[in-house]
Amino acid sequence: CIRLPKYNQILLLDVQETTDVVDDQYKGCREEAMKKFIESDVLKQELSNSEGFQKAWNKSNECSKQIPGGRKEHTAALSVYLKGDRPFILALNKAIETMGGNVSIYENHFHFKSLHFLLMDSMRLLKPKECKNFYVFQDGKNKPQKGSTVRFTSFTLAYSDYEELKRLEDVNENTILNLTSCFFVNLKDYVCGQEQDEILLSPAEVFTVQRVETKTTWDDDEYLEIVLNHSGLNSSHNYMCYPFIVLLDFLFTLTGTYVYTFW
């Protein structure tokens, strides 16, 4: 039976309405971000400032799994997002949704920089070779228009079993997102004690709405199915890299050459 963390449901909004989302992918400054957030005191400070973060992080220490090319902190971050308690996940998702409006807000008020970086970097390291279909359960509040471009306002969880989702008692008058993702992580493979497929999706992934239609279950419950196709990856902001890129632009004006490569 699928366990749905309903408190973890994330808004699906038109891309134009998500300009405040912290969606950095750390392109061009991954090593700098690792040093600033993980190898310095930032991670420790953010853990000490959030009881929920600290509690979930401590639980992850019991797991010895490690992702290819990653560190123990990457695995810990994946476990934290999946197993964090309700108040913590709500606070994290709200912060990611609202704290990316400008550099000042991000630097001074976004207190999950280390966790955000570890989640994004884990998804980069584990980027799949092919796209797959997944399903997200939501309440019936959001109804995007066909042809519009949308994304989630934070990381969110998806599932691989459509029939199981449709058998949920509260599917009536709610929404199932039927989506094709090309940027995801199956947490079952990297989180200890996880037996079912739970798929981590990124706020940087953009989807096109292919179809919106009302469907009926075998017992006559009506629900809305929204079909989403992967459109690409997009970051409105890259605040971590901003000072670094400004410096490179200045050097370019002097030398006419950029001296770095993106991952």
* Pick from 240, 20, 33: nearest CA to 151: 20
Residue 1 lies in a domain: no
**Total of domains in the chain:** 1
The predicted pLDDT at position 3 comes to 54
Q: What is the pLDDT at residue 140? A: 67
Is position 23 within any domain?
no
The answer to whether residue 205 is domain-embedded is yes
Angle (nearest 5°) at CA 114 between 46 and 208: 130
The boundaries of the domain holding residue 116 are 8-15+28-255
pLDDT for the residue numbered 113 = 97
CB 116 within 8 A of CB 50: no
Residue 52 lies in a domain: yes
- Give CA–CA dist 109/103, Å, rounded: 10
* pLDDT score, position 64: 85
Is residue 232 left, alpha or beta, with left meaning phi > 0 and alpha meaning psi from -120 to 50? Answer: left
Please state the pTM of the whole predicted model: 0.88
* Per-residue pLDDT at 28: 85
Q: What angle do CA 222, 201, 106 make, to 5 degrees?
A: 120
Residue 46 domain-assigned?
A: yes
Amino acid at 47: L
What's 202's domain CATH number?
Answer: 3.90.176.10
Q: Mean pLDDT in runs of 10 for the chain (263 residues)?
A: 56 90 92 95 97 95 90 96 94 96 92 98 97 89 89 94 72 88 96 90 97 88 93 82 47 46 38
